[in-house]
Chain A
Protein backbone atom coordinates (compact mmCIF):
# COMPACT_ATOMS: atom_id res chain seq x y z
CA UNK A 1 0.00 0.00 0.00
CA UNK A 2 1.45 3.35 -1.02
CA UNK A 3 2.24 5.55 1.93
CA UNK A 4 2.01 9.33 2.14
CA UNK A 5 5.31 11.10 2.48
CA UNK A 6 6.41 14.70 2.26
CA UNK A 7 9.61 16.47 1.40
CA UNK A 8 11.05 19.93 2.00
CA UNK A 9 12.03 21.76 -1.18
CA UNK A 10 15.27 23.33 -0.08
CA UNK A 11 15.46 25.82 -2.92
CA UNK A 12 12.51 27.69 -1.40
CA UNK A 13 12.26 26.54 2.24
CA UNK A 14 15.09 26.62 4.75
CA UNK A 15 14.92 25.57 8.37
CA UNK A 16 17.25 25.76 11.33
CA UNK A 17 17.07 24.22 14.78
CA UNK A 18 18.12 26.53 17.57
CA UNK A 19 17.92 25.27 21.12
CA UNK A 20 15.25 22.66 20.31
CA UNK A 21 13.05 25.17 18.49
CA UNK A 22 12.73 25.13 14.72
CA UNK A 23 12.54 28.24 12.57
CA UNK A 24 11.32 27.70 9.03
CA UNK A 25 11.70 30.40 6.38
CA UNK A 26 9.89 30.42 3.05
CA UNK A 27 12.38 32.27 0.88
CA UNK A 28 9.83 33.10 -1.82
CA UNK A 29 7.05 34.53 0.34
CA UNK A 30 9.23 35.94 3.13
CA UNK A 31 6.97 34.33 5.74
CA UNK A 32 8.74 32.62 8.58
CA UNK A 33 7.48 30.22 11.21
CA UNK A 34 8.54 28.73 14.51
CA UNK A 35 7.63 25.34 15.91
CA UNK A 36 8.63 23.84 19.21
CA UNK A 37 8.20 20.70 21.27
CA UNK A 38 5.79 18.28 19.58
CA UNK A 39 5.69 20.39 16.43
CA UNK A 40 9.46 20.39 16.17
CA UNK A 41 9.52 16.61 16.59
CA UNK A 42 6.92 16.13 13.84
CA UNK A 43 8.80 18.53 11.53
CA UNK A 44 12.03 16.58 11.96
CA UNK A 45 10.23 13.35 11.11
CA UNK A 46 8.56 14.88 8.05
CA UNK A 47 11.77 16.32 6.63
CA UNK A 48 13.27 12.84 6.87
CA UNK A 49 10.40 11.69 4.62
CA UNK A 50 8.97 9.37 7.21
CA UNK A 51 5.62 8.09 5.95
CA UNK A 52 2.74 9.86 7.66
CA UNK A 53 1.18 6.57 8.72
CA UNK A 54 4.42 5.57 10.47
CA UNK A 55 4.90 9.08 11.84
CA UNK A 56 1.51 9.04 13.57
CA UNK A 57 2.32 5.70 15.18
CA UNK A 58 5.68 6.99 16.39
CA UNK A 59 4.22 10.15 17.90
CA UNK A 60 1.42 8.26 19.66
CA UNK A 61 4.02 5.89 21.13
CA UNK A 62 6.26 8.79 22.17
CA UNK A 63 3.44 10.38 24.19
CA UNK A 64 1.66 7.48 25.91
CA UNK A 65 -0.20 9.71 28.34
CA UNK A 66 -2.12 11.52 25.57
CA UNK A 67 -5.26 10.01 23.98
CA UNK A 68 -4.14 8.42 20.68
CA UNK A 69 -7.13 9.78 18.74
CA UNK A 70 -6.36 13.32 19.91
CA UNK A 71 -2.70 13.01 19.01
CA UNK A 72 -3.45 11.65 15.54
CA UNK A 73 -6.08 14.26 14.80
CA UNK A 74 -3.92 17.18 15.92
CA UNK A 75 -0.78 15.95 14.19
CA UNK A 76 -2.72 15.46 10.94
CA UNK A 77 -4.05 19.01 11.27
CA UNK A 78 -0.52 20.30 11.86
CA UNK A 79 0.77 18.51 8.77
CA UNK A 80 -2.09 19.96 6.74
CA UNK A 81 -1.10 23.46 7.92
CA UNK A 82 2.51 22.90 6.90
CA UNK A 83 1.36 21.80 3.46
CA UNK A 84 -1.06 24.72 3.13
CA UNK A 85 1.81 27.13 3.85
CA UNK A 86 3.90 25.41 1.15
CA UNK A 87 6.53 24.37 3.66
CA UNK A 88 6.27 20.69 2.73
CA UNK A 89 5.27 19.14 -0.56
CA UNK A 90 4.10 15.62 -1.38
CA UNK A 91 7.03 13.35 -2.05
CA UNK A 92 7.14 11.93 -5.56
CA UNK A 93 6.76 8.17 -5.55
CA UNK A 94 9.69 7.62 -7.94
CA UNK A 95 12.13 9.15 -5.46
CA UNK A 96 13.89 7.02 -2.90
CA UNK A 97 12.76 7.74 0.62
CA UNK A 98 15.52 8.48 3.04
CA UNK A 99 13.50 8.22 6.23
CA UNK A 100 14.87 5.77 8.74
CA UNK A 101 12.81 3.31 10.73
CA UNK A 102 14.94 4.07 13.75
CA UNK A 103 14.12 7.54 14.97
CA UNK A 104 15.14 9.47 18.02
CA UNK A 105 12.46 9.91 20.62
CA UNK A 106 11.58 13.41 21.74
CA UNK A 107 12.90 14.77 24.98
CA UNK A 108 10.83 13.69 27.93
CA UNK A 109 7.98 16.19 28.12
CA UNK A 110 4.19 16.07 28.19
CA UNK A 111 2.23 16.12 24.96
CA UNK A 112 1.10 19.53 23.70
CA UNK A 113 -0.85 20.44 20.60
CA UNK A 114 1.66 21.13 17.81
CA UNK A 115 1.46 24.79 16.84
CA UNK A 116 2.80 26.55 13.75
CA UNK A 117 3.54 30.20 14.65
CA UNK A 118 3.54 32.38 11.54
CA UNK A 119 5.25 35.75 11.06
CA UNK A 120 4.62 37.94 8.03
CA UNK A 121 6.68 41.07 8.69
CA UNK A 122 9.15 40.27 5.90
CA UNK A 123 6.46 39.59 3.35
CA UNK A 124 6.16 43.06 1.83
CA UNK A 125 9.85 43.21 0.91
CA UNK A 126 9.66 40.12 -1.25
CA UNK A 127 6.65 41.16 -3.29
CA UNK A 128 7.05 41.95 -6.96
CA UNK A 129 7.63 45.68 -7.31
CA UNK A 130 6.20 46.76 -10.66
CA UNK A 131 7.15 50.23 -11.77
CA UNK A 132 4.99 51.60 -14.55
CA UNK A 133 6.30 55.13 -14.96
CA UNK A 134 9.55 54.57 -16.87
CA UNK A 135 11.58 56.41 -19.51
CA UNK A 136 12.46 55.15 -22.99
CA UNK A 137 15.32 53.03 -21.61
CA UNK A 138 13.03 51.36 -19.10
CA UNK A 139 14.23 53.12 -15.92
CA UNK A 140 12.15 55.19 -13.51
CA UNK A 141 11.61 58.72 -14.80
CA UNK A 142 14.56 60.93 -13.96
CA UNK A 143 12.43 63.97 -13.27
CA UNK A 144 10.56 62.24 -10.45
CA UNK A 145 11.94 62.93 -6.97
CA UNK A 146 13.39 59.98 -5.09
CA UNK A 147 11.94 58.95 -1.72
Chain B
Protein backbone atom coordinates (compact mmCIF):
# COMPACT_ATOMS: atom_id res chain seq x y z
CA UNK B 1 0.00 0.00 0.00
CA UNK B 2 2.91 2.35 0.70
CA UNK B 3 4.02 1.83 -2.88
CA UNK B 4 0.54 2.59 -4.15
CA UNK B 5 0.21 5.81 -2.16
CA UNK B 6 3.53 7.15 -3.43
CA UNK B 7 3.13 5.88 -6.97
CA UNK B 8 -0.19 7.65 -7.51
CA UNK B 9 0.79 10.80 -5.64
CA UNK B 10 -2.05 10.43 -3.17
CA UNK B 11 -1.52 12.01 0.20
CA UNK B 12 -1.51 9.37 2.90
CA UNK B 13 -3.18 10.07 6.24
CA UNK B 14 -2.99 7.66 9.18
CA UNK B 15 -5.59 7.93 11.93
CA UNK B 16 -5.80 5.73 15.03
CA UNK B 17 -8.86 4.73 17.03
CA UNK B 18 -9.66 2.82 20.21
CA UNK B 19 -12.61 0.50 19.50
CA UNK B 20 -13.70 -1.92 22.21
CA UNK B 21 -10.21 -1.89 23.69
CA UNK B 22 -8.40 -2.51 20.39
CA UNK B 23 -6.25 -0.06 18.42
CA UNK B 24 -7.40 0.29 14.82
CA UNK B 25 -5.25 2.18 12.30
CA UNK B 26 -6.91 3.62 9.21
CA UNK B 27 -4.59 4.63 6.35
CA UNK B 28 -6.37 6.87 3.86
CA UNK B 29 -5.19 7.66 0.34
CA UNK B 30 -6.47 11.15 -0.45
CA UNK B 31 -8.96 13.25 1.44
CA UNK B 32 -12.45 12.40 0.20
CA UNK B 33 -12.82 9.14 2.12
CA UNK B 34 -11.12 10.67 5.15
CA UNK B 35 -13.70 13.46 5.28
CA UNK B 36 -16.54 10.97 4.79
CA UNK B 37 -15.64 8.30 7.32
CA UNK B 38 -13.82 9.90 10.22
CA UNK B 39 -16.59 12.02 11.81
CA UNK B 40 -18.49 8.94 13.05
CA UNK B 41 -15.30 7.63 14.69
CA UNK B 42 -13.73 10.92 15.83
CA UNK B 43 -14.70 10.41 19.47
CA UNK B 44 -12.58 7.25 19.56
CA UNK B 45 -9.45 8.84 18.04
CA UNK B 46 -6.02 8.20 19.59
CA UNK B 47 -2.56 9.67 19.13
CA UNK B 48 -0.40 7.76 16.63
CA UNK B 49 0.61 4.23 17.69
CA UNK B 50 3.36 1.98 16.46
CA UNK B 51 1.63 -1.40 16.53
CA UNK B 52 -2.10 -1.36 15.84
CA UNK B 53 -4.20 -4.44 16.42
CA UNK B 54 -5.92 -3.95 13.05
CA UNK B 55 -4.73 -1.95 10.04
CA UNK B 56 -7.19 -0.87 7.35
CA UNK B 57 -6.08 0.71 4.07
CA UNK B 58 -8.73 2.80 2.33
CA UNK B 59 -9.08 4.60 -0.98
CA UNK B 60 -11.65 5.71 -3.51
CA UNK B 61 -11.09 5.14 -7.19
CA UNK B 62 -12.18 8.57 -8.40
CA UNK B 63 -9.94 10.75 -6.23
CA UNK B 64 -6.89 8.50 -6.48
CA UNK B 65 -7.49 7.39 -10.08
CA UNK B 66 -6.56 3.91 -8.87
CA UNK B 67 -9.19 1.51 -10.18
CA UNK B 68 -9.93 -1.93 -8.83
CA UNK B 69 -7.98 -4.72 -10.56
CA UNK B 70 -9.68 -7.29 -12.75
CA UNK B 71 -12.54 -8.80 -10.76
CA UNK B 72 -11.16 -12.05 -9.34
CA UNK B 73 -14.44 -13.92 -8.81
CA UNK B 74 -17.40 -15.10 -10.84
CA UNK B 75 -20.73 -13.44 -10.25
CA UNK B 76 -22.17 -16.82 -9.25
CA UNK B 77 -19.98 -16.49 -6.14
CA UNK B 78 -21.67 -13.23 -5.15
CA UNK B 79 -24.96 -13.00 -3.24
CA UNK B 80 -27.35 -10.13 -2.68
CA UNK B 81 -26.05 -9.56 0.84
CA UNK B 82 -22.62 -8.79 -0.68
CA UNK B 83 -20.76 -11.95 0.42
CA UNK B 84 -18.23 -13.28 -2.10
CA UNK B 85 -18.13 -16.98 -1.30
CA UNK B 86 -15.06 -17.93 -3.37
CA UNK B 87 -12.94 -15.38 -1.47
CA UNK B 88 -14.26 -16.24 1.98
CA UNK B 89 -12.52 -18.68 4.30
CA UNK B 90 -11.28 -18.89 7.87
CA UNK B 91 -8.50 -16.46 6.95
CA UNK B 92 -10.06 -14.17 4.34
CA UNK B 93 -13.42 -12.44 4.27
CA UNK B 94 -14.65 -10.50 1.23
CA UNK B 95 -17.75 -8.49 0.45
CA UNK B 96 -18.72 -6.34 -2.52
CA UNK B 97 -21.71 -4.02 -2.24
CA UNK B 98 -22.41 -3.40 -5.89
CA UNK B 99 -25.09 -0.65 -5.63
CA UNK B 100 -22.56 1.39 -3.60
CA UNK B 101 -19.58 -0.08 -5.51
CA UNK B 102 -17.76 -0.78 -2.29
CA UNK B 103 -15.28 -3.60 -1.69
CA UNK B 104 -14.05 -4.89 1.67
CA UNK B 105 -11.38 -7.55 2.17
CA UNK B 106 -9.92 -8.74 5.48
CA UNK B 107 -6.89 -10.96 6.03
CA UNK B 108 -7.34 -12.31 9.57
CA UNK B 109 -3.83 -13.78 9.68
CA UNK B 110 -2.17 -10.41 9.03
CA UNK B 111 -4.82 -8.27 10.77
CA UNK B 112 -4.87 -6.27 7.56
CA UNK B 113 -7.89 -5.06 5.61
CA UNK B 114 -8.59 -3.15 2.43
CA UNK B 115 -11.63 -1.02 1.79
CA UNK B 116 -12.22 0.57 -1.59
CA UNK B 117 -15.17 2.61 -2.72
CA UNK B 118 -15.82 3.90 -6.22
CA UNK B 119 -16.57 7.52 -5.30
CA UNK B 120 -16.75 8.79 -1.73
CA UNK B 121 -18.71 11.83 -2.91
CA UNK B 122 -21.59 9.56 -3.99
CA UNK B 123 -21.69 7.43 -0.84
CA UNK B 124 -24.99 7.44 1.05
CA UNK B 125 -25.51 8.41 4.69
CA UNK B 126 -25.52 4.72 5.67
CA UNK B 127 -21.90 4.42 4.70
CA UNK B 128 -20.77 7.57 6.51
CA UNK B 129 -22.81 6.73 9.58
CA UNK B 130 -21.47 3.23 10.08
CA UNK B 131 -18.03 3.01 8.45
CA UNK B 132 -16.07 -0.25 8.30
CA UNK B 133 -19.24 -2.20 9.08
CA UNK B 134 -18.12 -5.43 7.39
CA UNK B 135 -14.47 -5.28 8.42
CA UNK B 136 -15.25 -4.60 12.06
CA UNK B 137 -17.92 -7.34 12.06
CA UNK B 138 -15.48 -9.95 10.79
CA UNK B 139 -12.45 -8.91 12.81
CA UNK B 140 -14.23 -8.37 16.12
CA UNK B 141 -16.14 -11.65 15.78
CA UNK B 142 -12.85 -13.54 15.84
CA UNK B 143 -12.13 -11.79 19.13
CA UNK B 144 -15.38 -12.73 20.84
CA UNK B 145 -17.20 -9.46 20.14
CA UNK B 146 -20.34 -9.56 18.06
CA UNK B 147 -21.38 -6.69 15.79
CA UNK B 148 -25.16 -6.42 15.91
CA UNK B 149 -27.98 -4.27 14.63
CA UNK B 150 -29.04 -2.74 17.93
CA UNK B 151 -28.54 0.37 20.00
CA UNK B 152 -27.95 0.86 23.72
CA UNK B 153 -28.54 3.52 26.34
CA UNK B 154 -28.39 3.65 30.10
CA UNK B 155 -27.00 5.08 33.29
CA UNK B 156 -23.18 5.32 33.36
CA UNK B 157 -22.94 1.93 35.12
CA UNK B 158 -25.69 -0.14 33.43
CA UNK B 159 -27.84 -0.04 30.38
CA UNK B 160 -30.33 -1.70 28.07
CA UNK B 161 -29.98 -2.90 24.51
CA UNK B 162 -32.49 -1.47 22.02
CA UNK B 163 -33.29 -4.06 19.36
CA UNK B 164 -35.65 -4.36 16.45
CA UNK B 165 -35.99 -4.01 12.72
CA UNK B 166 -35.65 -0.71 10.91
CA UNK B 167 -38.53 1.57 11.82
CA UNK B 168 -39.14 0.01 15.22
CA UNK B 169 -38.03 3.15 17.05
CA UNK B 170 -34.49 2.35 18.19
CA UNK B 171 -33.03 5.61 16.94
CA UNK B 172 -35.86 7.79 18.23
CA UNK B 173 -35.63 6.10 21.63
CA UNK B 174 -31.83 6.42 21.79
CA UNK B 175 -31.86 10.06 20.69
CA UNK B 176 -34.67 10.96 23.08
CA UNK B 177 -32.43 9.76 25.91
CA UNK B 178 -29.87 12.46 25.09
CA UNK B 179 -32.21 14.97 26.72
CA UNK B 180 -32.17 13.10 30.01
CA UNK B 181 -29.36 11.97 32.33
CA UNK B 182 -29.09 8.72 30.34
CA UNK B 183 -25.96 8.11 28.30
CA UNK B 184 -25.65 6.79 24.74
CA UNK B 185 -23.79 3.81 23.28
CA UNK B 186 -25.49 3.69 19.90
CA UNK B 187 -28.75 3.87 17.99
CA UNK B 188 -28.24 1.28 15.27
CA UNK B 189 -25.07 -0.75 15.78
CA UNK B 190 -22.86 -1.81 18.65
CA UNK B 191 -20.55 -4.63 19.63
CA UNK B 192 -21.74 -7.07 22.29
CA UNK B 193 -19.77 -9.44 24.46
CA UNK B 194 -20.83 -11.91 27.13
CA UNK B 195 -17.72 -12.27 29.26
CA UNK B 196 -17.42 -11.55 32.07
CA UNK B 197 -20.92 -10.05 31.81
CA UNK B 198 -23.28 -8.97 29.04
CA UNK B 199 -21.78 -5.76 27.65
CA UNK B 200 -22.36 -3.37 24.74
CA UNK B 201 -19.40 -1.46 23.28
CA UNK B 202 -19.80 1.82 21.44
CA UNK B 203 -18.73 1.99 17.80
CA UNK B 204 -19.93 5.30 16.35
CA UNK B 205 -20.93 8.75 17.54
CA UNK B 206 -23.34 9.02 14.63
CA UNK B 207 -27.05 8.36 14.47
CA UNK B 208 -29.59 8.22 11.67
CA UNK B 209 -33.23 9.16 11.89
CA UNK B 210 -36.01 9.75 9.40
CA UNK B 211 -36.25 13.45 8.60
CA UNK B 212 -39.99 13.51 9.27
CA UNK B 213 -39.24 12.47 12.86
CA UNK B 214 -36.82 15.31 13.59
CA UNK B 215 -39.61 17.59 14.79
CA UNK B 216 -39.98 15.26 17.82
CA UNK B 217 -36.25 15.62 18.60
CA UNK B 218 -35.52 19.36 18.46
CA UNK B 219 -32.49 18.95 20.72
CA UNK B 220 -30.58 17.09 17.97
CA UNK B 221 -31.41 19.36 15.03
CA UNK B 222 -28.09 21.16 15.24
CA UNK B 223 -26.29 17.80 14.93
CA UNK B 224 -27.63 17.06 11.43
CA UNK B 225 -24.62 16.84 9.09
CA UNK B 226 -26.36 16.17 5.77
CA UNK B 227 -29.03 18.84 5.64
CA UNK B 228 -28.48 19.24 1.89
CA UNK B 229 -28.99 15.57 1.07
CA UNK B 230 -32.19 14.37 -0.61
CA UNK B 231 -35.25 14.27 1.62
CA UNK B 232 -35.50 10.53 1.02
CA UNK B 233 -32.17 10.00 2.74
CA UNK B 234 -32.17 9.73 6.51
CA UNK B 235 -30.77 12.60 8.54
CA UNK B 236 -27.24 11.77 9.64
CA UNK B 237 -26.41 13.14 13.06
CA UNK B 238 -22.90 13.75 14.33
CA UNK B 239 -23.40 13.64 18.09
CA UNK B 240 -19.97 14.06 19.65
CA UNK B 241 -19.51 17.82 19.09
CA UNK B 242 -22.99 18.55 20.43
CA UNK B 243 -23.23 15.97 23.23
CA UNK B 244 -19.55 15.47 24.16
CA UNK B 245 -20.20 13.70 27.46
CA UNK B 246 -23.10 11.57 26.37
CA UNK B 247 -21.43 9.09 24.02
CA UNK B 248 -19.75 6.52 26.27
CA UNK B 249 -17.35 3.64 25.46
CA UNK B 250 -19.83 1.00 26.62
CA UNK B 251 -22.23 -0.31 29.23
CA UNK B 252 -23.01 -3.53 31.09
CA UNK B 253 -26.39 -4.64 29.78
CA UNK B 254 -29.23 -5.52 32.14
CA UNK B 255 -32.02 -6.17 29.63
CA UNK B 256 -33.00 -6.14 25.97
CA UNK B 257 -35.80 -3.76 25.05
CA UNK B 258 -37.74 -4.19 21.82
CA UNK B 259 -39.19 -0.76 21.00
CA UNK B 260 -42.43 -0.56 19.08
CA UNK B 261 -44.39 2.66 18.55
CA UNK B 262 -47.98 2.44 19.71
CA UNK B 263 -49.48 5.84 18.95
CA UNK B 264 -50.54 6.10 22.58
CA UNK B 265 -49.18 8.84 24.82
CA UNK B 266 -47.79 6.71 27.62
CA UNK B 267 -45.01 4.11 27.46
CA UNK B 268 -45.26 0.61 28.91
CA UNK B 269 -42.86 -2.23 29.47
CA UNK B 270 -44.28 -5.68 28.74
CA UNK B 271 -42.28 -8.91 29.16
CA UNK B 272 -41.09 -10.45 25.91
CA UNK B 273 -39.71 -13.89 25.29
CA UNK B 274 -36.02 -14.29 24.70
CA UNK B 275 -36.86 -15.99 21.42
CA UNK B 276 -38.64 -12.83 20.23
CA UNK B 277 -35.60 -10.74 21.09
CA UNK B 278 -33.23 -13.24 19.51
CA UNK B 279 -35.19 -13.33 16.27
CA UNK B 280 -35.48 -9.53 16.16
CA UNK B 281 -31.72 -9.04 16.46
CA UNK B 282 -30.65 -12.10 14.50
CA UNK B 283 -32.74 -11.46 11.41
CA UNK B 284 -31.89 -7.78 10.96
CA UNK B 285 -28.22 -8.39 11.79
CA UNK B 286 -27.79 -11.35 9.43
CA UNK B 287 -29.59 -9.46 6.67
CA UNK B 288 -27.15 -6.56 6.87
CA UNK B 289 -23.81 -8.11 7.71
CA UNK B 290 -21.99 -9.95 4.96
CA UNK B 291 -20.47 -13.21 6.11
CA UNK B 292 -22.89 -13.78 8.99
CA UNK B 293 -22.60 -17.40 10.05
CA UNK B 294 -23.13 -19.80 12.92
CA UNK B 295 -20.57 -17.96 15.07
CA UNK B 296 -22.83 -14.90 15.00
CA UNK B 297 -25.86 -17.02 15.88
CA UNK B 298 -24.16 -18.72 18.82
CA UNK B 299 -22.69 -15.48 20.18
CA UNK B 300 -26.08 -13.78 20.07
CA UNK B 301 -27.94 -16.68 21.65
CA UNK B 302 -25.36 -16.87 24.45
CA UNK B 303 -25.87 -13.16 25.12
CA UNK B 304 -29.66 -13.29 25.03
CA UNK B 305 -29.84 -16.16 27.51
CA UNK B 306 -28.22 -13.94 30.15
CA UNK B 307 -30.68 -11.05 30.18
CA UNK B 308 -34.45 -10.52 30.48
CA UNK B 309 -36.30 -9.10 27.50
CA UNK B 310 -39.16 -6.66 27.23
CA UNK B 311 -41.34 -4.97 24.66
CA UNK B 312 -40.91 -1.23 25.06
CA UNK B 313 -44.34 -0.07 23.96
CA UNK B 314 -43.22 3.44 23.12
CA UNK B 315 -45.57 6.32 23.71
CA UNK B 316 -45.53 9.65 21.94
CA UNK B 317 -44.50 11.42 25.14
CA UNK B 318 -40.70 11.15 24.92
CA UNK B 319 -40.18 12.27 28.53
CA UNK B 320 -42.34 9.34 29.57
CA UNK B 321 -40.35 7.06 27.29
CA UNK B 322 -37.02 8.00 28.84
CA UNK B 323 -38.63 7.93 32.29
CA UNK B 324 -39.66 4.30 31.74
CA UNK B 325 -36.09 3.35 30.88
CA UNK B 326 -34.74 5.25 33.89
CA UNK B 327 -37.29 3.63 36.21
CA UNK B 328 -36.37 0.14 35.00
CA UNK B 329 -32.64 0.71 35.41
CA UNK B 330 -33.11 2.25 38.86
CA UNK B 331 -34.77 -0.97 39.99
CA UNK B 332 -32.20 -3.49 38.67
Contact = CB atoms under 8 A, between A and B. Distances in A.
Given A138-B70, A142-B118, A146-B100, A126 B81 contact: yes
13 contacts: A10-B294, A14-B294, A18-B304, A19-B275, A23-B278, A25-B286, A32-B279, A121-B283, A125-B286, A129-B78, A137-B71, A142-B118, A146-B101
B293 interface: yes
A125 B98 contact: no
Interface residues of A, number: 31
A23 B81 contact: no
Interface string B97-136: 0111100000000000000001000100000000000000
A26 to B, nearest CB: 11
A18 B76 contact: no
A131 B81 contact: no
A128 B298 CA distance: 25
B287 interface: yes
A129 B84 CA distance: 10
B69 interface: yes
Given A16-B298, A137-B71, A146-B100, A129 B278 contact: no
Interface residues of B, number: 33
A27 B79 contact: no
B158 to A, nearest CB: 23
Nearest to B300: A16
B28 to A, nearest CB: 21
B275 A18 contact: yes
A23 B79 contact: no
Interface of B: 67-71, 75-76, 78-81, 98-101, 118, 122, 273-275, 278-279, 282-283, 286-287, 293-294, 297-298, 301, 304-305
Interface of A: 10, 14, 16, 18-19, 21, 23, 25, 27, 30, 32, 34, 119, 121-122, 124-131, 134, 137-140, 142, 146-147
A128 B69 contact: no
Contact of A127 (B71, B80, B99, B298): B80
Given A21-B275, A129-B75, A131-B75, A122 B80 contact: no
B298 A14 contact: yes
Q: Which 10 A-B pairs have the closest CB atoms?
A: A138-B71, A14-B294, A16-B301, A125-B81, A129-B80, A147-B99, A130-B75, A21-B275, A18-B274, A18-B275
Given A130-B76, A131-B75, A125 B67 contact: no
Taking each of A19, A23, A125, A130, which has the highest tally of chain B beta carbons within 10 Å of its own beta carbon? Answer: A125
A131 B70 contact: no
Contact of B101 (A14, A34, A129, A140): A140
A129 B118 contact: no
